[in-house]
Amino acid sequence: MSVIILGIESSCDDTSASVLKDGIIYSNIIANQDVHMNYGGVVPELASRAHQQNIIPVVHQAMEKAGVTADEIDAVAFTRGPGLLGSLMVGTSFAKGFAMSKNIPLIEVNHLQAHILAHFIDDLKNTYDHPGFPFLALLVSGGNSQIIVVKDHLDMEVIGETIDDAAGEAFDKCAKVMGLPYPGGPLIDKNAKQGNPLAFEFSRPRIQGLNYSFSGLKTSFLYFIRDKVKENPNFVQENMNDLCASLQYTIVDILMNKVKRAAKETGINQVAIAGGVSANSGLQNALHEAAEKHKWKVFVPQLGYSLDNAAMIAITGYFKYLRNEFVGQDTAPFARMTIK
Ligand code: KG4
C-alpha cells in the first residue's frame, strides 16, 4: 500500500514542510526567520507571526517539489512540542485544518524523537546507512542535551540530560558575550577552525552520572571575558579564533566524556548524534576519533536533516502511521514535552 505524508515543523524559528512517499523524502522546504538576528535570540511573538506568513507558501512549495497535490496526501504529521507555544500553534492549527478539510488522519510528533529518527531518512538523492537497535543518541540542540538509549523507532529511554542549560544555549550565549550575532553556534564553529583549542582553559562541571551542566561554563566564560576586556578592550577581537576554538573544545569534551561513559555502562557501540549542535565540526571529529578508538559505529545526520526540519517530522509520522497512531482534532500543542 502506498502512503504519502505531509510533515509540518514550526516549533521555534524555522517554518518547514516536507512530503514523504513510502518512506522516502521527496521534499523538505525550510524558511528561516532572519528577523531575530538583531535581537540576540528568538523573539517568540515575531516567530509566530513569521510562521503565519510562511506556512502556506512553504507547504505549497513542498507539495510542488514532490509533485503531489493536496488531494493525494494520506496523513498530516505535525510537531506537537516541545517548543515555543505561539510557534507550535501555527503548525498545529494548519495541520488540523488540512486534515479536517481532506478528511485524513492527524499524527502528533515529539520534536525530540523526530531529531533522532532523522537517522532513518532516505531521500530521492540517497539512501543512507541507518543505525540498528539498540543505539545511543546524543541529542544536542538549542534546548536539549540528552543521552538516549534508542530501543526501537518509537521506544526511547533518556539516561542522561542537562540539569540546566543546553549545549546549543552555551554556544549561543557565549557567542553573544563575544559580540557575535544569533545563532552563535555555527560562527563559533567557523572561527574555531582557525584557532588553538588549548589557548584558554574554561571550567568544567562535576556532575554525577550521565547528566550534563553548562551554566557554570557560561558564567565562567562571561567573567573571564569581562576581566580580560578590562585589561585590554580589544581582547575579544584579537583572540576571537582562539576563544572560539577553546570554548568549542571544552563543550565537545564535556559532551563526549559522558557519551563514552554511557557506551561503557550500556555496552552499546553504535552512537548517533542529533539536533542542531550535531552540525558542529569539532563534535563530529571527536565522535569519529572515539569511533576509531572504541570500535564504535557512528552516525552523523545530513546537514539538511540535523537542524529543525519537517523531513524528520514526516519520517516519524510515517512510523506512527504504520502503527495507526493517530490523534483527534482536540489535540493541543505542548511547550514542554519529553521523550517517553
Ligand atoms: O535543533 P536546532 O536547529 O533547534 C532547536 O534548538 O531545536 O538547534 C539549534 C542550535 C542553536 O543553538 C545553534 O547555535 C546550534 O544548534 N548550532 C550549532 C551549529 N549549528 C547549529 N552549534 C555549534 N556548531 C554548529 N555548527
Q: What's the CA-to-centroid distance between 142 and ligand 1, angstroms?
A: 6
Q: Reply yes or no on domain 4-127+305-322 having CATH 3.10.20.30.
A: no
Q: What's the CA-to-centroid distance between 169 and ligand 1, angstroms?
A: 8
Going by C-alpha positions, the residue among 118, 90, 114 that lies closest to residue 15 is: 90
Ligand 1 contact, 82 CB (< 6 A) = no
Ligand 1 contact, 186 CB (< 6 A) = yes
Q: What's the CA-to-centroid distance between 154 and ligand 1, angstroms?
A: 24
Output the nine-digit C-alpha cell for 198.
Answer: 588549548
Going by C-alpha positions, the residue among 256, 246, 304, 264 that lies closest to residue 284 is: 256
Ligand 1 contact, 305 CB (< 6 A) = no
Please, what is the Cα angle at 166 between 164 and 168, to 5 degrees? 155
Ligand 1 contact, 141 CB (< 6 A) = yes
Ligand 1 contact, 13 CB (< 6 A) = no
Going by C-alpha positions, the residue among 248, 258, 245 that lies closest to residue 217 is: 248
Backbone phi, psi, residue 196, to 5°: -95, 115
> Atom 6 (ligand 1): residue with closest C-alpha?
142
Q: What's the CA-to-centroid distance between 37 and ligand 1, angstroms?
A: 14
Instruction: Specify the 3-state DSSP secondary structure of 267.
Output: coil
CA 338 centroid distance within chain: 14
Q: What's the distance, Cα to Cα, between the start and end of the chain in Å?
A: 30
At 34 the pLDDT is 82
Same-fold call for 4-127+305-322 versus 135-301: yes
Rounded average pLDDT per 10-residue block, the chain, 340 residues: 95 96 98 82 92 98 98 98 97 98 98 97 96 98 94 98 96 96 94 98 93 96 97 98 98 98 98 96 98 98 91 98 98 91
Q: What's the CA-to-centroid distance between 143 and ligand 1, angstroms?
A: 9
- 135-301 CATH choice from 3.40.50.800, 3.30.420.40, 3.40.710.10, 3.40.47.10: 3.30.420.40
Distance CA 261, CA 212 (A): 12
> Atom 14 (ligand 1): residue with closest C-alpha?
185
pTM of this prediction?
0.95
Ligand 1 contact, 282 CB (< 6 A) = no
> Atom 1 (ligand 1): residue with closest C-alpha?
276
User: E strands within the chain?
Assistant: 4-9, 14-21, 24-32, 75-81, 106-110, 122-123, 135-140, 145-152, 155-161, 270-274, 297-299
Q: What is the CA radius of gyration of the chain?
A: 20
The domain ranges of the chain are 4-127+305-322, 135-301
User: E strands within 217-278?
Assistant: 270-274
